[in-house]
Amino acid sequence: MKRRAGEREKELKKKRLLEELGENRLPYMTPADDDFHQLWKTKYSKLIFRKSETVPEELHQMVQKGFLTLREHDCFFQDLVRIKGKDFLTPVSRILIGNPGCTYKYLNTRLFTVPWPTEGYDIKYCSPQIHDACKALIRLNDYLHIEAVKTLQGQNLCETKEIKDTTVIDREQSFATSLTERGSVSKDQSGVCVPEDDSISLKNRTSYNLTLLNYMDPLQMLYLKQEPYFGMGNMAVSWHHDENLVERSTVAVYSYSCEDSGVGESNEQELKGRDPAVWHVGLKVAWDIETPGLAIPLHQGDFYLMLDDLNMTHQHCVLAGLSPRFSSTHRVADCSRGTLEYIFGQCELALQNLQTDSDSMALSLKSLEAAVVKQVEEIHNEVEFEWLRQFWFQGKRYLKCTDWWLKPMAKLEEFWRKMEIMTSLVLSEVRKEQQIEEQRNETISCFLLVLKERQRLRKEWTVRCQSDAAESLPEDQKPECHPFWTDDDEYELEDTDSNGYSVYSNCLPSLAAPEA
């Protein structure tokens, strides 16, 4: 509900902004404009740009080879995302690579990391080439982490000097010199000492735990959205804030456009200084019509950092060029509710309320207290709709790279089946006449809402799996409506429907909430 309210608020802001603009367009600047660097310094100072020459050539080669390997093995996928109650295929194809057991959620879609090589984990890749590609990306991840720490240390030092000396030094005489100077600043200040608390904060805000890789060939797209506020041209990714991140954490983006692909300069009319043949990152102050936007060209091997609260106060988009492009977007994802360790812990908490009779092996519940029942059923929903159905909705895509997720998903499904039985046991108990009326009513009151939500979501996921968009996907990427019950399951419920779902929903009308 909170997310839906946020989406409605954003839509209203967008509508009001477009109405205020009418047929007009807001101004924006590129490096060709005289005031570009002053605007960058005053309004976009937390965007740090590095040209490809600042990155070691060996790393360029490893990473770019990795991109091409993943494309050759068909490891980039269009996501079927949920926006305002409708499913859409993303124009950009993606794959998530990162720490084993981590996930990243955006637009109501939970992506699961293809784990990069990690000590202590047995990860079997489908080919040595995919292993090497993932290894290259963790190397890039380490490099970008170090660069982000040095940059933040440098900014802290500069801020201290400015306060002390009340002197502001203009380091951005030109686009090229600003990049050179920024590179030298980070090298000179790599040994800056900072307080221990600040060091911990820097580490927490720059320790990237995953990267979301993107790929798009614009010439293969039938249609691309036009940028609506500034008239910047074709967008590969619309204006947005990155979701699901640790607060004030840095985002690092490495860009690789295939500029040797034979695509020449565009013959289209120039879009106010932006060459439509070249990829750009666009930035604007969120919901602001006074501040001009920025469009910064991205070439092979360039990278940029979005520091501190830039992702919260500003929005960014990706403006398509004409050549195919890869990017690796390194993030400190908020994994407080998005790791296997977390969800297994939730399952163990729920199953503490299930006991087995040592003689008959019959299953029963330890407690029927309303708070306990509610907690278990909410965890039941979380396992089913935030994990199992999210994973299988993406078909067998992850098997293109590794089978690593199959075992933990099987374990989660086993937990889910036990929780299904726990739901049936609650229903059996609340039907019994010997139940104390007050306790029974209290249990039903909190239980009913969770069950109704479960039934609603099951219907929604079933419809999503059968949608036209889902059917249009390649066979190995088509959604699977999973989990469900079969005749071969070790545990048995009294009844299941034609979809293999437990039919305790038939009891819902008779479990009306008691009158106040």
Q: Domain of 457: which CATH number?
A: 1.20.58.1470
* Alpha carbons 246 and 238: distance in angstroms, whole number: 22
Backbone torsions φ then ψ of 328, nearest 5 degrees: -120, 115
Q: What is the per-residue pLDDT across 207-254, written as a single tens digit (0 to 9) for each?
A: 999 999 999 999 999 899 999 999 999 999 999 999 999 999 999 999
Give the helix ranges, DSSP H, for 335-436: 340-351, 370-381, 389-393, 406-431
Domain shared by 352 and 289, yes or no: no
Q: Contact, 492 vs 424, CB < 8 A? A: no
3-state DSSP assignment of residue 189 = coil
Specify if 172 maps to a domain.
no
Residue type, 212: L
Domain shared by 19 and 134, yes or no: yes
Structure tokens at 204: 């927490």
The ranges of the chain with pLDDT < 50 are 163-194, 267-271, 489-494, 505-506, 508-516
Q: What pLDDT is recorded for position 263?
A: 53
Domain shared by 294 and 311, yes or no: yes
Specify if 266 maps to a domain.
no
Q: What is the per-residue pLDDT across 122-159, written as a single tens digit (0 to 9) for each?
A: 999 999 999 999 999 999 999 999 999 999 998 876 66
Summary count for the chain: helices (H), strands (E): 13, 17
Q: What pLDDT is recorded for position 53?
A: 97
Specify if 487 maps to a domain.
no
Q: What pLDDT is recorded for position 165?
A: 47
* Alpha carbons 296 and 29: distance in angstroms, whole number: 9
pTM: 0.85
| Cα separations in angstroms, 162 against 33, 175, 177 | 27, 22, 21
Q: What pLDDT is recorded for position 343?
A: 98
Domain shared by 327 and 422, yes or no: no
Q: Given the structure tokens 């969800």, which residue do they identify? A: 343
Structure tokens at 115: 């784990």
Q: What pLDDT is recorded for position 14?
A: 66
* Alpha carbons 133 and 432: distance in angstroms, whole number: 59
Domain shared by 243 and 347, yes or no: no
Domain shared by 248 and 228, yes or no: yes
Domain shared by 473 and 401, yes or no: yes
- Distance separating the N- and C-terminal Cα atoms of the chain: 25
Instruction: Return the percent helix, strand and coil in the chain, to nearest 5.
Output: 45, 20, 35
Does residue 263 come out as left (phi exceeding 0), alpha (psi in the -120 to 50 range) or beta? beta
Domain shared by 142 and 11, yes or no: yes
Domain shared by 385 and 309, yes or no: no
Q: What is the CATH number of the domain that holds 279?
A: 2.60.120.590
Specify if 456 maps to a domain.
yes
DSSP state of 477: G
Specify if 512 maps to a domain.
no
Specify if 398 maps to a domain.
yes
Specify if 176 maps to a domain.
no
Does residue 147 come out as left (phi exceeding 0), alpha (psi in the -120 to 50 range) or beta? alpha
Domain count within the chain? 2
* Alpha carbons 483 and 503: distance in angstroms, whole number: 14
Tell me which residue range forms the domain holding 408: 340-477
Domain shared by 6 and 142, yes or no: yes
Domain shared by 408 and 326, yes or no: no
Domain boundary among 331, 351, 369: 331
Domain shared by 290 and 366, yes or no: no
Residue type, 378: E
Q: Which residues of 99-116 are buried (b: 16+ CB within 10 A; e: fewer)?
A: bbbbbbbbeebbbbbbbb
3-state DSSP assignment of residue 14 = helix
Structure tokens at 263: 């695509």
Q: Contact, 370 vs 443, CB < 8 A? A: yes
Q: Contact, 425 vs 502, CB < 8 A? A: no
* Cβ-based neighbour number of residue 212 at 10 Å: 23
Q: Contact, 376 vs 350, CB < 8 A? A: yes
Q: Given the structure tokens 């100072």, which residue do they identify? A: 45
* Alpha carbons 266 and 268: distance in angstroms, whole number: 5
> In which element (H, E) is residue 214 found?
strand 210-216
Q: Considering only CA atoms, which of 48, 215, 66 is closest in space to residue 140?
A: 66
Q: What pLDDT is recorded for position 181?
A: 39
